[in-house]
């Protein structure tokens, strides 16, 4: 790799590490994506069950849909296709299966845009102050700053999985070592889903993680809770 290529690779890596760091203040730590309800119901009780639930979220749940939406919005933003970007953004909002999951997606996305627009300005697809689901916000910023789509989607899904692992560590509870084993074992799943989503279109959006969706709906009526979803 040339020196210029190395510098570009370092720039992209620095952006991804910053954008998907747990320290980025978008409030990801406060959402469990329905895992808290599953734990309350006894369906999330150890490392194996946590891995199964999070892998399902990645493969057939909102992880897959988010990756497809991110890819479609990214391609539209890179091409200056306003209609295509708006279609992906509207679909991302419409697909949320519950009030809390909609809040989870939109509050994180809006916070992500606010921070990146201030610190790393350049995206022009979402008006400042407007709401956007998280995969759409990430796509707009990533396209504006030339982050390769495959790496952007892989980082997004790895962070998605890591946040759910963090919730499981607190809920089950799991030890920190088992939490890291989960992160290790789920990383290939995130990478595979990100790769498949690159070749997908909006017609491929959809999933079958009904247990998580129903859990997120039931969480809205849970009286004792640690998380907002």
What pLDDT, on the 0 to 100 scale, is given for residue 206? 84
Residue 55 lies in a domain: yes
What pLDDT, on the 0 to 100 scale, is given for residue 126? 96
What pLDDT, on the 0 to 100 scale, is given for residue 209? 87
Please give the torsion angle defined by the CA atoms of residues 64, 70, 73 and 77, in that order, rounded to the nearest 10 degrees: -160
Residue 30 lies in a domain: no
What pLDDT, on the 0 to 100 scale, is given for residue 207? 79
Residue 1 lies in a domain: no
Question: Do the beta carbons of residue 67 and residue 153 sit within 8 Å?
Answer: yes
- Tally of structural domains, the chain: 1
Residue 147 lies in a domain: yes
Determine the Cα–Cα distance for residues 25 and 218; give it in Å rounded to an integer: 27
Is 207 exposed, middle or buried, given 0-12, 13-18 or 19+ CB atoms closer than 10 A?
A: buried
Residue 160 lies in a domain: yes
In the three-class reduction of DSSP (H, G, I as helix; E, B as strand; rest coil), residue 119 is classed as: helix
What pLDDT, on the 0 to 100 scale, is given for residue 94? 94
- Given CA atoms 103, 13, 141, 115 in this order, what sign does their dihedral have? positive
Please give the structure tokens belonging to residue 130.
């407007």
Peptide bond into 173 cis (omega under 30): yes
Residue 22 lies in a domain: no
Query: What CATH number is attached to the domain comprising 93?
Result: 1.10.4190.10
Is 177 exposed, middle or buried, given 0-12, 13-18 or 19+ CB atoms closer than 10 A?
A: exposed
- Tens of pLDDT, residue by residue, the chain (229 residues): 788 889 999 999 999 999 999 999 999 999 999 999 999 999 999 999 999 999 999 999 999 999 999 999 999 999 999 999 999 999 999 999 999 999 999 999 999 999 999 999 999 999 988 899 999 999 999 999 999 999 999 999 999 999 999 999 999 999 999 999 999 999 999 999 999 999 999 999 987 788 999 999 999 999 889 999 9
Residue 94 lies in a domain: yes
Measured CA distances, 175 to 9, 45, 94, 130 (Å): 34, 13, 36, 39
Residue 33 lies in a domain: no
DSSP state of 69: H
> Which domain covers residue 103, as residue numbers?
43-217
């Amino acid at each position: 790799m040339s020196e210029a290529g190395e510098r570009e690779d370092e720039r992209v890596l620095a952006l991804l590490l910053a954008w998907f760091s747990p320290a980025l203040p978008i409030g990801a730590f406060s959402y469990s994506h329905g895992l808290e309800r599953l734990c309350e119901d006894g369906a999330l009780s150890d490392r194996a069950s946590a891995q199964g639930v999070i892998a399902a979220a990645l493969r057939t749940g909102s992880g897959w849909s988010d990756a497809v939406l991110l890819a479609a919005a990214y391609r539209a933003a890179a091409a200056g296709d306003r209609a295509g970007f708006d279609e992906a953004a509207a679909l991302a909002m419409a697909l949320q299966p519950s009030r809390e999951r909609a809040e989870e997606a939109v509050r994180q996305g809006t916070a992500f845009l606010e921070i990146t627009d201030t610190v790393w300005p350049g995206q022009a697809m979402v008006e400042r102050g407007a709401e956007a689901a998280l995969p759409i916000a990430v796509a707009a910023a990533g396209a504006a700053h030339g982050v390769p789509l495959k790496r952007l989607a892989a980082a997004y899904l790895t962070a998605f999985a890591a946040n759910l692992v963090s919730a499981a560590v607190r809920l089950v509870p799991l030890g920190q070592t088992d939490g890291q084993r989960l992160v290790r074992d789920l990383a290939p799943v995130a990478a595979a889903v990100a790769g498949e989503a690159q070749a997908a279109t909006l017609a491929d959006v959809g999933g079958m993680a009904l247990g998580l969706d129903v859990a997120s709906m039931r969480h809205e009526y849970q009286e004792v809770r640690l998380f907002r979803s």
